[in-house]
Each structure stands twice: as structure tokens, then as C-alpha cells.
Amino acid sequence: MNNNETTDLLRVRDLKLHFRVKSGAVQAVDGVNFDLPKNQATVILGESGCGKSSLAKAILRLLPKNVDHYSGEVFLNNQDIMKLSDEQFRKDIRWQRIAMVPQAALNSLNPVMRVGDQVAEPILLDGKLTKKEAMELALEKFDQVGVPADFLYRYAFELSGGMRQRVAIAMSLITEPEMVLLDEPTSALDVLTQANIMNLLKRFKAEKKASFILITHDIATSSELADNVAVMYAGQVVEVSDAHNFFTEPLHPYSKALMDSVPRLYGEMQPDFISGQPPSLLKPPTGCRFADRCPARFERCSDEPPVFNMSDGRKVKCWLHESDSVSAESNPDTWEEMYAKS
Amino acid sequence: MLKVDDLHVWYELKRFGLGHAGYVRAVDGVSFELNAGEAMACVGESGCGKSSLMKTILRLNKPTKGTIDFKGINVGELDGLDLRDYRSKVGFIQQDPFGALAPFMTIQQILEEPLIINGFTNAAERQSKIETIMEEVKLTPVEEILPKFPHMLSGGQQQRVVIARAMILEPDLLVADEPVSMLDASVRVEILKLLRNLQEKHNLAVIYITHDLSTVRYFSEYIFVMYAGQIVEFAPIKSLLENPTHPYTQALLEASGDPDAKNALEYKEIPPGEPPSLVNPPSGCRFHPRCKFAIKGKCDVDMPKPMPVVDGSNMAITGNKHVAACWLVEEEWKERAGLTN
């Protein structure tokens, strides 16, 4: 693939984020590749502990103190934002071009600030607008996300869960960023509120040409917004696919198991569960990381599979698809080599 | 076995901690029956009173009005040792397993405590009971898990401990409050299947409280939908999914769907607004301010009574079990009567 010419808004290449803990390095994000085309939504699916939220942190460079290893390339409109200094990144990228809606809206809103002030804060930081202009803009965003105007002067605890989530979305949209990272935006909400928020995001995508990365473990909800799906397992992306193919016939055995575990409202399918547990990210298995839980495991699985490109543009990291793939991407570095380098 | 009749749970609001300032009508006239060996699901949004209902059945709250009858005992009037005996017959599975398990107690202590309280004085007997129940909820290997603390277990294992604790006194009724909502999607089904197996094996009655309609189908025979402290629809699961009658039930079903790439292409029709305040609930049908079918002068004035639902395919009543509290049902009956006469 040519890295210089693309219409993709965001391209993530070999992104790694490891945390240092007492007993070693947690390889939370380990060589992740995926793309986000303009005005589309890419869903990152996976169980808890597979590195989804760490991936969001890695993209936005919101790093905790115990980072052990942080590398890779993140192209935003063909510019490698990993090369920017922390100060430049804070000024130009974070919240200006990539905004985020964090997981629990109650915990992410400041309890001692009125929500209107919080929403206006990101545009006040660069000092180009007066407070009054910023509040007008905040009001406009409140209107767009369906929060009544007098809520500007309320505190977070006075709002219901759905309203808080709307405020968090308004806050992410206020700088008119090129893309928004949504980390489990609806997991703590009731079904009707959930559907309302998804409607809102769909409308922003259709009318404002917004681009989203949606991080979630809720497959049914993710299908409300998805154009593309990337499935994560144990710190790695194991399948990248368009939404239609993924929701009808996923390729990777883990994706299949995930789809089978969804209880359905209609139809005869009985849901099944994935036995076993994800591997420890302190010492991930050397071969395929899903092999221990995989029903289709065979001898090849003790070697790490490369990413196979399928003829319909899907990518899957599984030996089962070696024969029907059109090409394979080179095997990522082994751990030993990587540590020798660093 | 369990008969709830016209149950009201109201919480008093005080002004400045002194004067009376009204009531929160958390549960407002709920009636249902549950037989041994049946699982019943209670579905509703947060704030609809389902937790208050559950707490009252567990007798953590006293009913304000109405009765709960459990095998001939009036639960509302129990106290002292009778109350302890009642609680030993009713198991409770909490929503958040980590929050429900004391962090300073080992699994051994957690499972032993209810036995000690309820007079099992023989240590060997307690141990054998603990081991049996752990085998049953598949917390194995037993010897390895017993000395552990809750934080050393995974979420699924923690929930199994909670289930084991609820089951260890061999209750007749199990109340499960969103038992899987805090768990990962892949573990949810495993825990629900475990609960279902336990229910069938021990002929338990189960009340399963949830807001997730898609899991209900695999778990219970009957379902009731609550809105603003009242039951708006009661039905056998299959009948409810095929023929949702109350507009609120229809909205819930519309909002929760199966994974499908087509979902991204269309908007969902969601009733506007939010559930009403339970201090001053709307007059008439409590759903009428959000309902697109609301009939002026009727829905906003009179409260609808539960009525058997008209079956779509023929004139028969859906087994007489499917009832909905909505004036539209009455309208439909009238229409049918007009057609046949």
C-alpha cells in the first residue's frame, strides 16, 4: 500500500502502546492497523481487556505515566501526527481535530463547573473568541444535540444520563473536529436513550459529514453506525471488514464466536458463549493469540498468522484463510527482535 | 407461590427534613402471580420502579399498601426471626458482582456466612454444602478458589460466587437484578444458561429484572413491562415479541434490535421526552404525553385497566394471558364487536 496517497481520514499503522507494571510490560495495543475513510464510522469491537480503550488513548496520546513503549504511525489527512511534539499535539490535534466522547459521561464532566462553561472551554483555550461568542456557539451545539438552552447553566448532577451523554457529545463537537472518538458512548444508558443517542450520531454523520471511531463491545448497537468493523483480540486487530459482510458472515473464528454470543430478539438461533478467557497481555502466546479458545485450531496456529488480504478487501489474521486470500502482509516483528531494537 | 396484589411502594419526601412534601410513587398498583418453577422477567427503564418492586419482595422495604403473599405468609408483616426465615427462602443476585462481594472476605467466608447465620452449626456439613454449590455453579477447582479474595477472580467468576451465595440456602425464589449487565457480552450467555439450568434443576421461581429485551427470550416464560411504577403489559414471551401491544412495549422493541448492517441506514422511531416524575405522575395513562396514538379526552383523563389483548390472526384471546393496560385495546375490542355484529 502506498502511504502517501489516500483519501482516508485516519490511517493507523503498527501502533503499539505497552504499560509497565511490577511484573513486566502489559502489551495493551500491539501492532494495530486500521483505516477510517472520510465521513464513515469504523467500529472497534472486542471484549473488555482486549485493548480497545488503550487504543483510543494511544490515538489521542492521552498517556498515563507508566508507558513502557509507544510507537507506530498515525496519519491524519496524510500527516503523521505521531511525529508532532507533545505541545504541538495538544495545540493542533487533540480536541481541535480529533475529539473524544469518554466512556462514562458522569465521571468525565466536572462536577463543580456549569455544563455550558465546560462545553465552551475547548474553544476558549486558544483565546480567539470572547466568552460571549463561545457561549453562543455552545448554545448552538446544545440545540443540535437536543439539550434545552437553560441546561447551559446547570451542573452535571442535575442532568439525566442521556442528557449528560448529549452534553459530552456537544463538547466533542464544539471545535468542529475532523473526527470523533466515541468510547462506549451508550453502555450505561437505557435502551430508548441509547437508540436516541445513536439516532443523533447517525444524523451528524449524514448531515454534518462527521467521521467516527466507535469503540464498543455491544455488537447490536455498533451495527447502528458501522461502515467498517475492526475486531480486536488481546491487543491486536484480527479482522477488518465492511459492515455488511461482517454482520452477515464474519471470517475470523473469534468474530464468529462474538456474533454467536449475541442474544437475538427474533429467529431461532441459540446464543453460545466463548469458553475460556483472553490471554494475559503480560505474556501473550507466541502463536495466534486466540488459539487456546479457538474451535478451529490446527498445527499452523502455533505460529503467529500474518494478516491475509481477501479478494473483497477484507483482512483477516487467521491461518484458515491462507488459501483463499490474495496476498499476505508481512509478519510483524517477533517480541525478541523488537526488544533487541529498543 | 408468590402473589403480589395491588402493591404500592411510596417514599415520603420531606421539606427541610421536617414537613411533608409529597410522595415518590415508585411502585403504584402492581399485581402479579408467580408459580414454582416459573421464570418471570421484569423489563423497564431505570426509574420505572423495578428496583423498588424487587426490594419490597425481598422485604428490604415495607409495602405502603397492598400485599405480598409468599406460600400463605404475608411478607409485609414479618419481623424478627420470621423475617430471617423468609429471607433464607429468597435468594438475591445483585447487579454488580464486585460491589456485592465484601473485598476483605475470602470466597470461603462469603459462602459460609449465610450458613452460620441460619444455624448450620456443623462445620463439616457447611463445608460439604459449599463444595456442592460451587461444583454446581462451575467454580472449579474448588480448593483453589475458596481461599481467594473477590478481586482475584474474573467478572464471570465473581458473578458465579454471587449466584452460589444466593443458592446456598436452597431458596424457593430467586430475585436476579440485572445479573449480566455488568459482564462482557461473551460471558453473559454463559451466566444466563447457568441460571436457567439451576432454575430447572431446583424447580425455582425466578424474577429476572432487566432492561435488555434480547436476553429475556432465553431465560423466562413470562414477561411484564413496567413504566412509571405500573405494569403496562404482561404476556408470555413469545406472544409479546410477536404481538407487542402497548405503545411503550413497541418502542422498547423498536429500540433494541439484532445486529444487522441495515441498521446504519435508517433512523429509529423513539417516543420523545423522558419518563415522567413519580412525584406528580401524569393523569390518565402515564405514557400518554409521549404516545403518538394518544386519544385526547380519554388517555389523558382515565387510567386504563389491564385488558386481554385481541389476537391479530383470529378472534380468540391470546390464551387470556396476554394483557395490556392501554385504551387502544378497548378500542380494538369495540371495533371487532362492531364488525361481527
Q: What is the mean pLDDT of residues A62-88?
A: 91
Are B267 and A48 in contact (CB < 8 Å)?
no
B212–A195 C-beta distance less than 8 A: no
Greater pLDDT, B14 or B8: B8
Nearest CA in chain B to A228: B261
**pLDDT for residue A340:** 52
What is the Cα–Cα distance from B213 to A164, expressed in whole angstroms? 24
Q: What is the pTM of this model?
A: 0.87
* Mean local confidence (pLDDT), A207-222: 90
Which of A244-248, B147-151, B158-162, B215-219 comes out lowest in average pLDDT? Answer: B215-219
Nearest to A278, CA basis, from A241, A243, A238: A238
Cis peptide before A253 (omega within 30 of 0): no
> To 5 degrees, how large is the angle CA B34–CA B36–CA B42?
35
Contact assessment for residue B167 and residue B133, using Cβ atoms and an 8 Å cutoff: yes
* Of B226, B236, B238, the residue nearest B38 (C-alpha): B236
Q: Answer yes or no: is pLDDT of A78 > 60.
A: yes
Cell numbers representing residue B52 in the block: 423498588
Taking residues A35-44, report their average pLDDT: 92
B248 neighbourhood in chain A, CB within 8 Å: none
Mutation choice for A interface testing from B48, B154, B186, B278 by most A CBs within 10 A: B186
Q: Is the pLDDT of residue A279 over 70?
A: yes
Chain B nearest C-alpha distance from A19 (Å): 20
B217 touches A: beta carbon within 8 Å: yes
Cell numbers representing residue A205 in the block: 454523520
The CA distance from B80 to the nearest CA of chain A, in Å, is 38
State whether residue A187 sits within 8 Å of chain B by CB: no
Closest CA to A13 of A329, A318, A282: A329
Put simply, whether B268 touches A (Cβ < 8 Å) is: yes
Q: Quick check: A262 contacting B, CB < 8 Å?
A: yes
Chain B CA closest to residue A163: B274
Q: Which of residues 272-301 of A touch B (CB under 8 A)?
A: 272-275, 277
How many angstroms separate the CA of residue A183 from the nearest CA in chain B?
A: 15
Helix segments in B203-272, DSSP class H: 213-216, 237-242, 247-255
The pLDDT, as a whole number, for residue A106 is: 67
CB-based contact B128:B111 (threshold 8 Å): no
Confidence of residue A338 (pLDDT cuts 50, 70, 90): very low
Under a CB-based contact definition with an 8 Å cutoff, are residues A30 and A286 in contact?
no
Residues A18 and A28 sit within 8 Å (Cβ to Cβ)? yes
Q: Which residues of B touch A218 (CB under 8 A)?
A: 185
pLDDT computed for residue A99 by the predictor: 92
Residue A330 has pLDDT above 70, yes or no: no
**A342 pLDDT more than 80:** no
CA distance linking residue B180 with residue B287, whole number of Å: 28
Asked whether residue A120 carries a pLDDT value surpassing 80, the answer given is yes
Nearest-CB residue to A220 (from B45, B257, B268): B257
Does the pLDDT value for residue A18 go beyond 90?
yes
Contact: B214, A265; criterion CB under 8 Å: yes
Query: What pLDDT is attached to residue B215?
Result: 86
pLDDT band at B57 (very low <50, low <70, confident <90, very high): very high
Predicted confidence band of residue A331 (pLDDT cuts 50, 70, 90):
low
All three cell numbers of B215, joined, read 436476553
B239: confidence class by pLDDT, cuts 50, 70, 90: confident
A310 touches chain B (CB under 8 A): no
Q: How confident is the model at residue A1 (pLDDT cuts 50, 70, 90)?
A: very low
Question: Cβ contacts (< 8 Å) between A217 and chain B: which residues?
Answer: 184-185
pLDDT at A339 over 60: no
Task: Using DSSP, state whether A21 is helix, strand or coil.
Answer: strand
Query: What is the DSSP secondary structure assignment for residue A185, as one 8-state letter?
Result: T
DSSP characters for A15-54? Answer: EEEEEEETTEEEEEEEEEEEEEETT-EEEEE--TTSSHHH
What is the per-residue pLDDT for A290? Answer: 93
Mean pLDDT, range A115-121, rounded to an integer: 91
When scoring A160, A165, A191 by the number of chain B Cβ atoms within 10 A, the one with the most, hence best to mutate, is: A191
Among A48, A87, A54, smallest CA distance to A68 is for: A54
- The tens digit of pLDDT for each residue in B273-298 reads 888 888 888 888 999 999 988 888 88
pLDDT digit string, tens, across residues A126-155? 778 888 999 999 999 898 888 888 899 999
Give the span between the Cα atoms of B325 and B286, in whole angstroms. Answer: 10
Are β-strands B39-43 and B205-210 bridged in parallel, bridged antiparallel, or unpaired? Answer: parallel
- Please name the residue ranges forming H helices in B49-122: 50-57, 80-88, 97-100, 107-117
Give the H or E element holding residue A165. Answer: helix A161-173
Counted across chains A and B, CB pairs separated by less than 8 A come out at: 119
- Contact residues, chain B, for A219 at CB < 8 Å: 185, 259
First to last CA, chain A: 26
Beta bridge mates, A214: A43, A182
Contact predicate A99/A177, CB 8 Å: yes
Q: Give the per-residue pLDDT at B251.
A: 92
**What stretch of H or E contains B91?**
strand B90-93
Residues B102-144 pLDDT 10s: 999 999 999 999 999 998 999 999 999 999 999 999 888 899 9
Q: Are B131 and B107 contacting, i.e. CB atoms less than 8 angstroms apart?
A: no
Residue A126 confidence (pLDDT): 75
- Mean local confidence (pLDDT), B215-219: 85
Residues 6+ apart with CB under 8 A from A324: A310, A311
Interface check for B241 against chain A (CB to CB < 8 A): the answer is yes
Say what the pLDDT of residue B162 is.
95
pLDDT computed for residue A5 by the predictor: 52
pLDDT in the model for residue B141: 87
pLDDT given at position A179: 92
Q: Are A199 and B270 a contacting pair at CB < 8 A?
A: yes
- CB contact at 8 A, B326 and B246: yes
A73 burial class (0-12, 13-18, 19+ CB within 10 angstroms)? middle
How much is the average pLDDT of B246-256?
Answer: 91
Q: B237 with B223: CB under 8 angstroms?
A: yes
Q: What is the arithmetic mean of pLDDT over A285-310?
A: 91
Distance of alpha carbon B108 from alpha carbon A93, whole angstroms = 52
The whole-number pLDDT of residue A315 equals: 93
pLDDT in tens, B297-339: 888 888 888 888 876 544 444 455 788 899 988 888 888 777 6
Q: Residue A211: name the closest of A36, A21, A337 by CA.
A: A36
Identify the H or E element spanning A71.
strand A67-76
Beta-strand pair B323-324/B307-308: antiparallel
Percent of chain A surpassing pLDDT 90: 44
Calculate mean pLDDT across residues B167-195: 88
Q: What are phi and psi of B216, to 5 degrees?
A: -60, -40
